[in-house]
């Protein structure tokens, strides 16, 4: 089982992961020195207990001087690039801005890491795919997407992220690309001061504010709890250092198990809080037009992840339970992590 970043957890995980004390996350034994870019985001925060996670004022991947200074100052053995322009709708009007971070910045970071002999893991997205259902069949049973499936992004965000994947691997052939999807921190997000959107947190808030709400039921994906992805990444790095796996040069899919529509996920959130899930009503995407079209189908297969020797991330329902339990723990005064 991969190491889970669980606040206050004690004990051990596979590979000799040892708890470092109450209030500290599990840290896999033998973990290399890790620097994560995008320290102000979800994944950066999730990794901050075991990695250096500077904010943009300390490490700006669009500024080569800032990047070089940070790499030299922190001297990491591994960089996880979680910095990204993630405003999907905003990117439609600002593709140049998205490209500066998602493509050019990622490429320059990869080159700087290669020059210094630093291992690099680059985080990408399900938006690199077209969103079409494989074979045009039933999305509930259609084959989940593999890293080898054709990419055909339909949004500026997706185009700049796909170009970033290619640029990273061209500049640093031993880098690893990890695509994930539907990433959320959960209802504790607001207390953590994280910016940006979070579907689960939004559903928790709207359950309190509205009698009913409409949620799209024609988009299928892989809900992924940030803490689970962070734990999976740490497992990968510790296992690599121990010589048990080697993901250099690979593109993998790291996402929550199973599949859901946004409507199904919203209903599950309501149920977990004791609310009537029938208050969540299904609707079509065309009832909520947005500047950037959302993929109708972006369920990611974890076959490549497991084939690399890594433990599968938990089913999304199990991780939703974990996210809500973490929120309850924080609400009880268990800490800010």
Q: Which residues are catalytic?
A: 157
Q: Residues with Cβ < 8 Å from 251, sequence gap 6 or more?
A: 124, 147, 165, 169, 176, 177, 178, 179, 304
Query: What are the residues facing 301 on neighbouring strands?
Result: none
**Interatomic CA distance for residues 286 and 284, integer angstroms:** 5
- Residue in the block written with tokens 């690039």: 81
**Interatomic CA distance for residues 96 and 224, integer angstroms:** 28
In the numeric block, which tokens belong to residue 124? 């990408």
Q: DSSP secondary-structure letter at 100?
A: I
Helix (H), strand (E) counts: the chain: 12, 13
Q: Residues with Cβ < 8 Å from 294, sequence gap 6 or more?
A: 88, 131, 216, 219, 285
Dihedral class, residue 38 (left if φ above 0, else alpha if ψ from -120 to 50, else beta): left
3-state secondary structure (DSSP) of residue 178: strand
């Amino acid at each position: 089982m991969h190491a889970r970043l669980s606040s206050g957890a004690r004990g051990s995980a596979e590979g000799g992961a040892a708890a470092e004390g109450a209030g500290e996350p599990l840290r896999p034994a033998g973990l290399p020195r890790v620097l994560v870019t995008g320290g102000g985001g979800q994944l950066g925060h999730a990794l901050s207990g075991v990695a250096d996670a500077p904010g943009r004022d300390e490490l700006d991947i669009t500024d080569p001087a800032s990047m070089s200074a940070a790499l030299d100052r922190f001297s990491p053995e591994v960089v996880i690039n979680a910095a990204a322009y993630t405003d999907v709708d905003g990117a439609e009007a600002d593709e140049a801005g998205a490209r500066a971070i998602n493509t050019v910045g990622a490429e320059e970071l990869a080159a700087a890491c290669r020059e210094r002999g630093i291992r690099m893991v680059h985080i990408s997205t399900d938006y690199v795919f077209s969103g079409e259902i494989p074979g045009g069949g039933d999305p509930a049973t259609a084959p989940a997407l593999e890293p080898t499936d054709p990419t055909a992004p339909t949004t500026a965000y997706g185009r700049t992220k796909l170009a970033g994947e290619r640029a990273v691997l061209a500049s640093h052939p031993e880098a690893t690309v990890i695509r994930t999807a539907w990433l959320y921190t959960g209802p504790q997000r607001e207390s953590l001061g994280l910016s940006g959107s979070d579907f689960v947190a939004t559903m928790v808030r709207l359950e309190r504010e509205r009698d009913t709400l409409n949620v799209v039921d024609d988009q299928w994906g892989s809900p992924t709890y940030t803490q689970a992805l962070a734990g999976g990444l740490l497992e990968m790095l510790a296992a690599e250092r121990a010589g048990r796996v080697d993901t250099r040069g690979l593109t993998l899919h790291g996402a929550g198990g199973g599949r859901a529509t946004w409507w199904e996920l919203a209903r599950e959130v309501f149920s977990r809080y004791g609310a009537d899930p029938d208050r969540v009503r299904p609707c079509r995407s065309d009832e909520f037009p947005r500047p950037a079209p959302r993929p109708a189908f972006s369920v990611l297969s974890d076959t490549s992840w497991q084939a690399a020797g890594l433990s599968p991330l938990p089913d999304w329902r199990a991780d939703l339970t974990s996210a809500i339990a973490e929120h309850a723990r924080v609400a009880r005064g268990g800490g800010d992590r």
